[in-house]
Structure 1
């Protein structure tokens, strides 16, 4: 009987301790096979639909895109490649994790395509 009482008292603690929390935050590394200047990256962000509150600092950019908070950092720049990391934060939104990942994956791909379109000297890349 004592074991049953102990189990009944401890069960709610274990259930609360095992609760899964939805993070809704993702970081993606991307690269393109051409040089992207900070000026072109800024211009691309400014011309992307549903973008607001852009803050720039050398090769780092913070902005809101479709209600998500985005931080973008450019890392490696050579004459033939540019790498950047894009962090998308949707923790403040009440979205299912599956919905969040589908939306942010589509946003990241569309944003990379915008960079290719606006910053590449070659058409069709």
Structure 2
């Protein structure tokens, strides 16, 4: 795994003009904590029977469908890895150690005998989701 970017901070630029002061002004920043926040878009990726994940896609935030036989329902088997995106004054988005979040998810999946997306797939999904939800 030496090809993983080991920098503690990953920077990427958002598209100018996607958000306005009015949109950002509606946020109650003082009340924004570390709990879940529903945003406009989410990223979904499916796992094939061979344990490999296929290219995912962005969709509007909403309910998801899965089989009643899903392990998460029958055995309580599931993993969630969340991280926060911060915006700098110049509009750039900051992700703190997304590679470490990806590794933590892979380790958790291994402990739970579950497949997991690659580190590249995880980081790509996080970037796409952050850019799609830039107004938040």
Q: Which has the higher contact order (CA 8 A, sep 6+)?
A: 2
Larger Rg: 1
What TM-score do the two structures reach when normalised by structure 1?
0.39
Where is the helix percentage greater, Structure 1 or Structure 2?
A: 1
Where is the strand percentage greater, Structure 1 or Structure 2?
A: 1
